[in-house]
Structure 1
Amino acid sequence: MSSPSRSQLLQSATTFCDVFAQKKDLNAILSHFSTIHPVSAVEHGEKALAPFLGRSFEGLDGIRSYFETIAALLSYENMEFSEFTVDTEARRVACKGKAKFTWNQTKESWDEMFAYLLGFDDSGKITHYQVWADSGAAYLARNGELDKIRKGES
């Protein structure tokens, strides 16, 4: 099978991002991941700051665990993606996202810009899902400290 074209990679990436932004169910999200190649998800950051940071979630069960962990700890609204950049040789798409996130337990929220780097197999399914986000805000919100910091309290 030949490599996906630029438009196919862009379509695969934007469709996945739309499904996530629209808060579709976990099976809809997982349907965008390869079932014939190894898959992984990693949200870069210090792993002591949150249970989903700094470790690789491997295989479809790992991907499921990553998204279940995210859903249990965080909620989000007004998610948008932009600035899609396609590398057909590497079969990767990078993009920028933004949303308002809330740590469910403390109800503390923050506006965040984040970046995705998605790797694809030759059929346009995700093999590698990487995220760079504001782990500091997540950590502070997790501990109920974000609003105090904003008010100048410590």
Structure 2
Amino acid sequence: MPLPRPALLAPIYSLTSAFAAGASPSIILTHFTTSPPPVAHEYGSVHLQSQLPFIGRDFSGISGVGEYFDLLAEHLSYSDMKFDSEDDWVVDPQNMIVCLRGCATFTHNRTGQSWNEVFMWRVSLSEDLGESEPDPGQGLKVQDYRVWADSGAAFLASRGEWKDIVGGKIDQGKPTSQVAKNMDAVNPIGHRLGDGLESYGGCG
């Protein structure tokens, strides 16, 4: 029998509250299961991993998920994170999966360039068997965490080029389209950087 909706969504609220409060990676990690082993995956092209080593691969186990959040904190910081209301979440109580949308201002730590971003989470929950005899629903934690975000903006910010894109021209006055062609030659990405994020709309 599916868990009652409040019990199912309680760990989601805990996770979003931790992110909104700017919790450290070690605190965020406490919201994940230890058994079964958790997984974190932020989608993005493997061709961008030299600048964004936290995208495009699975981080498995509690140590792997910890590595993901450590890498994320090493490269990016964020502010003003918020999430859509529960009414806009997609909830699958049978499989204990919740999809939701958030937004924040992200900053690349090395270049200092910032951008506003809408991102999507798909969170699968599981009873944490590492807990000692939890009551039903009380040991529920995040077991599978998947993120779709604007890796294109993050990549450009990592190269110090995001502000130039926003301004319309980069690379010593070359049109943005020409620079995009040059970047495609270096990074053969199957689609345009940041493509698809616009369909998510705003947040809040």
State the TM-score bracket (shorter-chain normalisation): over 0.9
Q: Runs in 1 of length 4+ with deviation above 6 angstroms? A: none
Cross-structure match for 2:122: 117
Alpha-carbon distance, 1:20 to partner: 1.4
Give the greater-gyration-radius structure (CA): 2
Question: Which residue pairs with 1:23 in the alignment?
Answer: 22
**Structure 1 counterpart of 2:77, one-letter code:** S
Shift of 1:85: 2.2
Please name the residue that 1:42 is paired with: 41
Query: In 1, Cα distance between the equivalents of 2:142 and 2:2?
Result: 13
What residue identity is the alignment partner of 1:91?
A: M
The aligned counterpart of 1:70 is 72
Tell me the equivalent position of 2:107.
102
1:126 corresponding residue in structure 2: 142
1:141 corresponds in structure 2 to 157
Q: Note the C-alpha offset of 1:152.
A: 1.6
- Cα deviation, 1:54-84, whole Å, max 9, x if unaligned, reads 1000000001000000101001000001132
What does residue 32 of structure 2 align with? Answer: 33
Give the alignment's TM-score, normalised by structure 1.
0.94
What SS does structure 2 have at the residue aligned with 1:48?
Answer: helix
Deviation at 1:30, TM superposition (A): 1.0
Alpha-carbon distance in 1 for matches of 2:108, 2:47: 16
User: Following the alignment from structure 1 to structure 2, what is the Cα–Cα distance between the partners of residues 60 and 87?
Assistant: 24
**1:3, CA displacement in angstroms?**
5.0
Structure 1 position 52, deviation (Å) = 0.8
CA RMSD, Structure 1 to Structure 2 (Å): 1.3
The DSSP-based 3-state class of the residue aligned with 1:105 is: coil
Greater shift, 134-143 or 77-86, is seen at 77-86
SS in structure 1 of the partner of residue 82 of structure 2:
strand
Distance in 1, matches of 2:3 and 2:156, equals 41
| CA gap 1:33/1:4 in 2 versus in 1, 3 angstroms | farther
Count of matched residue positions in the alignment of Structure 1 and Structure 2? 153
Identity %: 39
Corresponding residue of 1:87: 92
Matched AA of 1:12: P
> What is the TM-score normalised by the length of structure 2?
0.72
Paired residues of 1:10 and 1:84 also in contact (CA < 8 A):
no
Query: Does the Cα contact within 8 Å between 1:40 and 1:59 map onto a contact in 2?
Result: yes
Query: Which is richer in strand?
Result: 1
Is contact 1:92-1:118 (8 Å) kept?
yes
CA contact (8 A) 1:140 1:146 kept: yes
Query: 2:41, 2:62 → 1: CA distance?
Result: 13
* SS of alignment partner, residue 95 of structure 2: coil
